[in-house]
Chains A and B, each alone.
Chain A
Amino acid sequence: MSVSATLATLAPFVAEGPSEISSVTRDANWFLTNAWIIPLIPAISFFIILFFGKRLPKKGAEVGIAAVGLAFILAIATGVSWMDHRDNFDGELSESPSVIAHGDDAHDESHADASDGEEPDTHEAAAHAEEGDSEEAHPYVAVQNSVPWFQSGGIEFSAGVLVDGLSVMMLFVVTLISLLVHVYSTDYVGGDRRYTHYFAFLSLFTASMLFFVLSDNILQMIVGWELVGVCSFALIGHWWEEKPNSDAALKAFLTNRVGDIGLLIGMITLFFAAGGGQTFDTLAINNAINQGGVSHTALVVAAACLMAAVASKSGQFVLHTWLPDAMAGPTPVSALIHAATMVVAGIFMVARLYPVFFEGMSIGGSSINLLSTIGAVTLVFAGLLAFVQTDIKKVLAYSTVSQLGYMAMALGVGAWGAAVFHLFTHAFFKANLFLGSGSVAHAVHSFDMKKDMGGMKKFMPNTYKTFIIGAVALAGVFPLAGFWSKDEILVGTGGWGFFGGTGGNGAYTFHLAMGMIGAALTAAYMTRCIYLTFHGEYRGNDHHDDHAHADDAHDADGAAAPAHAGESHDPHESGPRILWPLYILSGFSLVIGFVNLPPGFFESSKVLSFLPDGWEERFLHFVEPGGASYFPGIGHGTPSWSLAVVSSLIAFGGAGLAYRYYFVKVDGLAKATGQHLTEMPNGPVTTNKWARAGHTVLVEKYYLDHLYTGIIAGATKGPIARAVNWVNQNIIDGAVNTAGETAVMIGKGVYSKIDQGVIEGVVNGSGRISDATGEELRHINSGKVQNYAAIMFAGAALLAGAFIIILAL
């Protein structure tokens, strides 16, 4: 397959722009220009598993693991190539090579309108200067390789890959998590009735997401987006024999459809407004927006419509309801959905089309906008919901919704790098937590923390340790992964006015406050989750004794586990294929935060000042397209020690309160009374009216499901249908009836005078004639095909004869 890169589609915008810059090249090494191979491998593996999987010795699992492993190796090679390319690129840009973007100059020029009055580049310039004399500040140049797909109506549709820091980062995350999930699944769903089918769809899921993150035009993004949705539908409903599972799959699919309408409208708006009705190319669209030639109104519409898509796919508030239900799928799938594929697609889309949101939502220089506010609301509301869940996976699901809220909020306040970094770190610790919860559920055959867990620390020490690491990383405790990314988001809000630590794109103080509350909530609900799952006494056995086999109904993940029919057995630690992914992920959760140390960290920490500054902000350096023509000139907040300390204290405060409640009070009472307690019998929920009301609201999930199914769907079916019926009966029918009665009166008059006399004769006569004709013609209608064919041919011959005669005349 010969791939000849064409970038002709970019031409109109390069021509009309004031400064002809376009940070894109195809002059890069093999791994970067041929990144399309990465999604292709799991895609091929999907077909192999689907058609030959059942005949293979390991039922197709080995093909999936090999394919994803290969993709992972290629992703790493691509990542290494990208780092080299980022720092040492001196090839030619695709267009107008004479105007090679000199990083900061071009940046200031092209984005003067986007960030007026601020100094977005001071920090960046400083960072570049700090990189040392030997290394110049290389421009950020994305690698694009596209081929024409087809042409229609003068528009060239191309297909291709766009490789830059963002997509390379996603490649790494998706392939790594997917590989671990594959390995984990061989044990977890071992012996399942649709084992081969399951692995086939894991492959397709991975391929779809890789395809999505590598797309270089918005059409391809839509395709990838929908593919991801279909795969999630298939995997959430993997055990479709049970109604709740297939309901959950349908709910996920339909909720996503709601957002997909927004996606389509938004993309079409972009195509016409920013693509000039000529190109779907992502970079061309971004460039056009950055050069300021696109109507602001159109961008507002596009951003708002795409926002709906983000809300559905990335589980933002009001459309997040499908995500917790999606826990009906097998746990490794949940880990994959929540960490690497599916839900981060929305965040990725915003990050990829960032100029649309930056301009459309007026992120720079404002202090509130739709994206950041939805994110902030989501992160707090979902964090609260996590407190009332008894299902361990649902706690984690709401936690994901809450963390996605962080990412959306960070994107909304202009902290692009922080959002993407949080996506990166979150992938590791959330996959860690999900796989950990799966490990526990595998042992006790249930996800119910209150009924079937407790005291698991004793039985599963390794799972416990990895789960703790994941939870601590999620809670944002120094120095684990979550701390660094969460802190960056809080810095990025620019709302921390004290002690000089500020900056960013505007004073988003409200969002900073919501982020702080979210940090406290995260720490608290994870403490609750750890207590209920791992501490206290094991509550599974007495339950088993009481209702022998009652657990079959809610047996963890249906037929996930081989049948342990024992009446009272102790759970035991999972096998190596489950534990090793946990070890690896918790290792990442421990250290991955260090890849993006805040600027000036070594210097100001005094102790570490001997380390080179070049080690700071490596992630941002490689991932954020600062200075690239397709990226808006965002400002960066200045990190602040005081903010880091305060946010950590708040997180510790949240964890401390929950610790006091569960580990001290509940545990103490349980030990004193010898009962299996999960909550205080006289806690505020039972004694305080307001607390009880709040609790009910949370248990009912803010009544959103009632709103959707009961009120919106119900109203459409019930009252509105009745109302329409009433209108039909009384108004329309009334009009019709009146008209009818009038007509009858007139008709009676006409009948007696005209009809009986004159018309009747004519009508009866014509009736008799047609009756007689019909009687004769009936014989032609023999029902025999060949008679019809003969008539048809005769007719055709007659017409042909007439035609010839007419021509001859």
Chain B
Amino acid sequence: MLLNQFLLLAAALFCIGVYGVLARKSGMLVLMSIELILNAVNINLVAFGALTEDVGGEVFALFTIAVAAAEVGIGLAIVLLMYRNRRSIDLSEADLMKG
């Protein structure tokens, strides 16, 4: 079983996702990066599930997909509202929580 390749792919995706979340300014791209992170996790789950021949891995991946769908729904709603209110989805401008 070529587990390493899957783990490397997942790690690469995860890093790209983390980079996107931390570095991009656009809210949309941040959301997409979050999806990348989640899918990296999914790849890990499925890979390990296949390795141990345990269907639990796939099941959890399905749960993750369902949760991701819900999360992106809320995230898009927030971004949409942000755009309506500010005419911009630049995250660096959104700092109302500044202490």
Contact = CB atoms under 8 A, between A and B. Distances in A.
A782 interface: yes
B98 interface: yes
B46 interface: no
A606 interface: no
A786 interface: yes
B81 interface: no
A783 B95 contact: yes
Contact of A793 (B18, B91, B95, B99): B18
Instruction: Give the one of A778, A781, A784 with max B CB within 10 A.
Output: A784
B21 interface: yes
Contacts of B96: 783
Contact of A781 (B22, B23, B97): B97
A784 B25 CA distance: 11
A805 interface: no
Contact of B98 (A783, A789, A790, A793): A783
B91 A782 contact: no
A785 B99 contact: no
Contact of A786 (B22, B97, B98, B99): B22
Contacts of B97: 781, 783
Contacts of A784: 91-92, 94-95, 98
Interface string A155-196: 000000000000000000000000000000000000000000
Contacts of B30: 785-786
Nearest to B21: A789
Given A790-B22, A793-B18, A793-B22, A785 B94 contact: yes
B95 A786 contact: no
Contacts of A790: 22
Contacts of B95: 782-784
Contacts of A785: 30, 91, 94
Contacts of B18: 793
A484 B76 CA distance: 69
Interface residues of A, number: 10
B96 to A, nearest CB: 6
A781 B18 CA distance: 20
Interface in B11-53: 18, 21-23, 30
Contacts of B94: 783-785
Contacts of A789: 21-22
Please classify how large the interface on chain B is, using the bins under 10, 10 to 19, 20 to 34, 35 or more: 10 to 19
B99 A783 contact: yes
Interface in A786-802: 786, 789-790, 793
Contacts of B98: 781-784
A789 B24 CA distance: 12
Nearest to A784: B95
Contacts of A793: 18, 21-22
A278 B11 CA distance: 50
A786 B94 CA distance: 10
B16 to A, nearest CB: 13
A796 to B, nearest CB: 10
B58 to A, nearest CB: 22
A781 B99 contact: yes
Interface in B44-99: 91-92, 94-99
A786 B25 CA distance: 9
A781 B22 CA distance: 16
B52 to A, nearest CB: 19
A12 B46 CA distance: 43
A784 to B, nearest CB: 5
Interface in A758-807: 778, 781-786, 789-790, 793
B59 to A, nearest CB: 18
A126 B91 CA distance: 89
A667 B18 CA distance: 93
| Listed residue (A778, A781, A783, A785) with the most chain B CB atoms within 10 angstroms of its CB | A785
B94 to A, nearest CB: 7
A782 B97 CA distance: 7
A784 B92 CA distance: 6
A800 B96 CA distance: 31
Nearest to B23: A786
A793 B17 CA distance: 12
A614 to B, nearest CB: 63
A785 B91 CA distance: 7
A785 B30 CA distance: 10
A457 B22 CA distance: 85
Nearest to A781: B99
A667 B47 CA distance: 93
B38 to A, nearest CB: 14
A336 B18 CA distance: 63
Contacts of B99: 778, 781-783
B86 to A, nearest CB: 14
B74 to A, nearest CB: 14
Nearest to A796: B18
A623 B22 CA distance: 74
Nearest to B97: A783
A782 B22 CA distance: 14
A44 B3 CA distance: 50
Nearest to A793: B18
Nearest to B93: A784
A605 to B, nearest CB: 73
Contact of B21 (A778, A781, A783, A786): A786
A801 to B, nearest CB: 15
A496 to B, nearest CB: 68
A799 to B, nearest CB: 15
B33 to A, nearest CB: 10
A795 to B, nearest CB: 13
A783 B95 CA distance: 4
A783 B98 CA distance: 4
A793 B21 CA distance: 10
Contacts of B21: 786, 789, 793
Contacts of B23: 786
10 contacts: A783-B95, A783-B97, A784-B91, A784-B98, A785-B30, A785-B91, A786-B21, A786-B22, A786-B30, A790-B22
Interface of B: 18, 21-23, 30, 91-92, 94-99
The 10 A-B residue pairs with the shortest CB-CB distance in the complex, in nearest-first order: A781-B99, A783-B98, A783-B95, A783-B97, A784-B95, A790-B22, A778-B99, A789-B21, A785-B91, A786-B22
Given A789-B21, A793-B22, 15 more contacts: A778-B99, A781-B97, A782-B95, A782-B98, A783-B97, A783-B98, A784-B91, A784-B94, A784-B98, A785-B30, A785-B91, A786-B23, A786-B30, A786-B91, A793-B18
